[in-house]
Amino acid sequence: MSKAIVSTLYDSDVFKMACRQFDKAADAINLPEGIRDRTKYPRRCLAVALPVKRDDGSITVFEGYRVQHNLSTGPAKGGIRFHQNVTIGEVAALAMWMSWKCSLAGLPYGGAKGGIVVDPSKLTLTELEHLSRRYMQEMVNFLGPHTDVAAPDVGTNERIMGWMMDTYANHVGHIEPAVVTGKPISLGGSQGRKEATGAGVAYFVKKYLEDLKIPLGKTTVAVQGFGNVGSETALALQAYGAKIIAISDYTGGIYNPKGINIKKALAYVQYAKVLKDFDGGEPITNEQLLELKCTVLAPCALERVITDQNAGKLKCRIIAEGANGPTTNAADKILDARGDIELIPDIMCNSGGVVVSYFEWLQNLQSYYWSRDEVMEKLYVILDRAKESVEYQKRKFKFSRRLAALTLGIGRVAEAKAARGLFP
């Protein structure tokens, strides 16, 4: 029997969680020993020091990472996270999930993720630009339209993607929009990319509500996280006719059983930067939000917020995982045993973002651009197909929905690896 000989490089709770998920899925489909470890562990990573000149003339060195988990099924694909608690272990776990996510959606990509240990709200716009450009400069030989394609994630946005693409382009000597997705439209960004992740989460929620025969007009929603994913999920579900009764960010949450006006909340956050003191309802904590009685709970912030401490107390009918890894393995076990909550797992639920990133990359490579309607129509076709295959797998093997999604994603990567040989 072969066993991987690995260091503690990625050691962290979240990497262990992703590995445990993998092991469970590999056991469930009897993945041959010889293919397991090379499907499981990241292929390679790069850690860089990023000296940045501050506005006051001083210099701060930040640390940045890129982990390429899998390059066997296409260029690696994944976002770049700016957050003060980023670790290389977390980035590795997120890269693993990108592999399964792309594979499940049938995209011709591997998986990757990047990150910088920084609280972006503490930087001025100039400092943020210098940091973003320096990161890409250090990554020029590691990324590329046919090697590894970057995108936004927590703490990054269109503007940052634009700076990164420009830095890459200046190094190679010509514009290369396909190295980064989630760019501004003026630099080759795709119609629909900004709202794609939230639109996808809302679309899945709508489909599962239909399956459960719950009308949208009778649906109440609590959304944790009010960044790009959380706010777009709330907007899209409100547009479908659902009532958003709670939203939150890291400063706390707002609860209003009569419904929160999401456009107003967004306008407030644009001006105040945080939700704190928004007068659309009563203040609540993030912990209280998760345990609210509602039809849909959408964790759209960070990992590991639904735990063995609160899984038994949730009062929702559906969990829609807009975030990556919001539910711990111990919580999964509790939810499985309860059996009264439909869980739409992250690698399917939030895949709308990377699907439209794929469309953006395709449009960039062809220099041929699509309308928003074309993008959304093609997005929903892919999401429908993913849902259908997951439901089939779930029924056929009596798996939980997460296990069904993971086994499909992992199985396809392992199959490609076996077909290619040891090198990729």
Site residues for ligand GLU per CB under 6 A = 77-79, 151, 153, 181, 324, 350, 353-354, 357
Chain residue at closest Cβ approach to ligand GLU: 79
Q: Assign 385 to helix, strand or coil.
A: helix
C-beta closer to ligand GLU: residue 233 or 324: 324
Residues 6 or more apart whose Cβ sits within 8 Å of residue 193: 181, 182, 353, 356, 357, 359, 360, 375
C-beta closer to ligand GLU: residue 184 or 257: 184
C-beta closer to ligand GLU: residue 10 or 82: 82
Place of tokens 């009264």: 340
Least distance (Å) from ligand GLU to the CB of residue 60?
Answer: 25
Least distance (Å) from ligand GLU to the CB of residue 378?
Answer: 15
Q: How far apart are CA 125 and CA 108, in angstroms?
A: 35
Catalytic residue, chosen from 77, 101, 113, 243, is 113
C-beta closer to ligand GLU: residue 127 or 360: 360
Least distance (Å) from ligand GLU to the CB of residue 246?
Answer: 23
Least distance (Å) from ligand GLU to the CB of residue 95?
Answer: 10
Q: CA triplet 45, 51, 54: central angle to 5 degrees?
A: 140
Distances (CA, A) of 418 to 21, 36, 110: 21, 10, 15
Distances (CA, A) of 286 to 226, 280, 290: 12, 16, 6
C-beta closer to ligand GLU: residue 236 or 292: 236
Place of tokens 């701060």: 60
Q: How far apart are CA 401 and CA 265, in angstroms?
A: 33
**Is 333 an active-site residue?**
no
Distance of CA 402 to the CA centre of its chain: 15
Rounded (10°) angle between helices 401-420 and 13-28: 80
Least distance (Å) from ligand GLU to the CB of residue 280?
Answer: 28
First to last CA, the chain: 22
C-beta closer to ligand GLU: residue 244 or 349: 349
Phi then psi for residue 180, to 5 deg, are -140, 140
C-beta closer to ligand GLU: residue 161 or 292: 161
Q: Assign 281 to helix, strand or coil.
A: coil
Task: Judge whether 161 and 341 are in contact, CB under 8 Å.
Answer: no
Closest to 423 measured CA to CA, from 43, 117, 6: 43
The rounded radius of gyration (Å) of the Cα atoms in the chain is 21
Alpha helices, DSSP H, located in 5-107:
13-28, 33-40, 88-105
Residues 6 or more apart whose Cβ sits within 8 Å of residue 310: 287, 290, 291, 331
* Catalytic residue positions, numbered: 113
